[in-house]
Amino acid sequence: MSIRVDGVSKSFGAFKALDNVSLDVPQGTLLALLGPSGSGKTTLLRIIAGLEWPDSGRIEEDGTDITDRHARQREVGFVFQHYALFRHMSVFENVAFGMRVRKAPHAEVKARVDELLHLVRLDNLGARKPAQLSGGQRQRVALARALAIRPRILLLDEPFGALDAKVRVELRQWLRRLHDEIGMTTVFVTHDQEEAFELADDVVVMNEGHVEQRGKPEEVFDKPATPFVMDFLGNVNVYHGRVENGRAFWHGVPIDYPDYPHAQARAARVYLRPHELDIARAPSGGPSEANQGTSLAATVLRQTRTGPITRITCQPQEGGSELHVDLPSAAARQLGLQPGEAVSITPRHVRVFLPDPEYVI
Amino acid sequence: MNTPPTPSSSNRREGPPADGFSILRPPSPPIRRARHRTVLPGFGISAAITSLMIVALVVIPLAVLILRAASLGPTGFLAAAWTPRARAAYAVSLGSSLTAAIISSLLGLLVAWVLVRLEFPGRRILDALVDVPLALPTAVAGLVYSTLYVEKGWLGQWLVPVGIKGAYSLLGIVLVLVFVSLPFAIRVVQPVIESLDKDTEEAARLLGASRSQTFFRVVLPGILPAVVTGFALALARALGEYGSVVFISGNMPFKTEIAPVLIVSRLEEFAYAEATAIAVVLLGMSLSMLVVVNDLQQRLVRNSQ
């Protein structure tokens, strides 16, 4: 089942949650809506589910307009962040609920629930109450319950948000396998880029009610379309620099930037990812050494090791804000930098964003 | 009170601890006969105040009541408390209180739902009005109701001709009992409805449940324990009510006389022991009904978790 969101807007009072959003979800895609809280991603998901109504715009399912179709008739599977299980019912009855209200024959209900409990690996827990399960188990019950009605699309709202880190990783790998097996069109909401990149075929980055970028995970990561996407994907060094004559300047270090061939200088923002910087001990000349060629002279402030990555925080010698460089911990140990040492930093990759060109031309 | 087992007595049979490492442990410091240790403050004092107040406010008065009634002896007790008139009064009391409590808890559920879930102008005012019956002297309520419902009253002039007698009747008793017990039924259910997780209702709708299926299968099981608690409180309140009933019921023996009114009329005849005997029976009935209701409530709570 393919979904098409066409020019949907939605306001809550003065707050514009969605501003003319359009989106295509082809049949069988696993799509992530990624964005910070308040970006409208959950509202969009709820509109697709029929839990909210758009102020304007249309929702189509395989070309049929379903904008006015009630949630009850949409036949979507929906998984809530906080599970939303029926506390007074057993696991079995939770999963069976959708079939019970449809008055399905008992034997059919039993067979389907057993099959689903097997699918979510909760075979022997049918008699338990939700309160007797762990968070990960509860979310799997919620998933089985959503799948029980044989939905046409599956929608998940921050499905792993309430789980601890280890369970979260397990469950999302499992969900990916499940999706590959049953191939249902699936949309999930997350604010966790790692989750989006690991799980999704397609990532839609949202911000302030509109879509910033849509693409394959590697496209979004490698070619962020906007400063927001670059920023949101996190861990980035941002500098105010300038562009002129096909080059961008960052602390006076020139970087090729063919997109701006004009002679007139313009302010620009320069984004450097910490893992795309090379760091080396400065030639013995000492701390007064000036920037050389394409590298920046800096002083090491401190090193922080977080597991396999070591983050080196440096201060550019001509001032300005601190700069982070990520190295594999083994490489960092081999380099053996000490605080106060002079280093030269060379970017392997730089992204430059010009502010909106309101005064150019 | 659970005291920790002392090494000298209860543990002696067990021999060395099963893990076999106890020899390596440093000798434990002399046991400060630790009471149940807790970081919560003031357990001792608050427990003492609680038991003192319960004894002073509940246990002693009830004990005096029972002792006084017991002074009649078994036959005297039966003769005082089990007369045809007294039995009729118990029946009126229990019947009207049960009816009123049922009406109050259903109506209370509805009002609480409206107050929590619906946005409408004047909701705050309605919310404040709920508590009025608690503050108003109930005799005033009884008087107002009876003036309204008598044959020449504002409402009575229309209702009495079509056969609805709201004053000096069982209906009147039920009306005032609903009035005085409704706040309890509302206030107990209201916070539970407020705390309901709307996600579960949305989940039910998405799974294809109709409005009524969602209410009866998903919402109601969650609030039923509170509804039953509200019922118990409303029942207790109705059973003890005197002031309003005395004005609206007409107090006709065998017809509209409730047990508390009978107790007072015995007192007016200076038949104190008889009055206490009736009171003890009423107390016993109320207590056993409340025990049954509370048990039901407990079972519902256990079932809904």
Specify the amino acid at residue A117. L
Say what the pLDDT of residue B206 is.
Answer: 94
Cα B187 from Cα B109, distance rounded (Å): 9
pTM of the model: 0.76
A237-353: CATH architecture: Beta Barrel (2.40)
Domains of chain B by start residue, with CATH: 81-303 (1.10.3720.10)
Summarize pLDDT for B162-200 with one digit per residue, the tens: 888 888 899 999 999 999 999 999 999 999 999 998 999
Sign of CA dihedral B174, B179, B180, B181: positive
Query: Average pLDDT, stretch A272-296?
Result: 72
Cα B275 from Cα B79, distance rounded (Å): 12
Q: How many CB pairs under 8 A join A and B?
A: 70
Fold match between domain A3-227 and domain A237-353: no
Nearest-by-CA chain A residue for B303: A88
Say what the pLDDT of residue B22 is.
Answer: 44
Answer with the residue of higher pLDDT: A3 or A289.
Answer: A3
Contact B235, B101 (CB under 8 A): yes
Distance from CA of B192 to the nearest CA of A (A): 14
Q: Best mutation site among B206, B219, B227 for testing chain A: the one with the most A CBs within 10 Å? A: B206
Q: Which CATH class is domain A3-227?
A: alpha beta
Cα A61 from Cα B226, distance rounded (Å): 43
H or E element at residue A144: helix A135-148
Cα A123 from Cα A118, distance rounded (Å): 5
Interface membership of A82 toward B (CB under 8 Å): yes
Query: Average pLDDT, stretch A72-91?
Result: 92
Residues recorded for chain A:
361
Nearest-by-CA chain B residue for A150: B207
Distance from CA of B294 to the nearest CA of A (A): 19
Query: Above pLDDT 70, what percent of chain A?
Result: 95
Q: Where are the alpha helices (DSSP H) in chain B?
A: 43-54, 60-70, 73-81, 84-117, 123-129, 132-135, 138-149, 156-159, 170-194, 198-206, 211-213, 220-240, 243-248, 259-268, 272-303
Domain ranges of chain A: 3-227, 237-353
Summarize pLDDT for A174-213 with one digit per residue, the tens: 889 889 988 899 999 999 888 898 899 999 999 999 999 9
Summarize pLDDT for A313-327 with one digit per residue, the tens: 998 887 778 888 998
pLDDT category, B235, cuts 50, 70, 90?
very high
Nearest-by-CA chain B residue for A147: B207
Say what the pLDDT of residue B33 is.
Answer: 55
Inter-chain residue contact B203 with A49, CB threshold 8 Å: no
**What residues contact residue B138 under an 8 Å CB cut-off, 6+ apart?**
B176, B180, B241, B242, B243, B244
Interface membership of A101 toward B (CB under 8 Å): yes
Question: Predicted ipTM?
Answer: 0.80
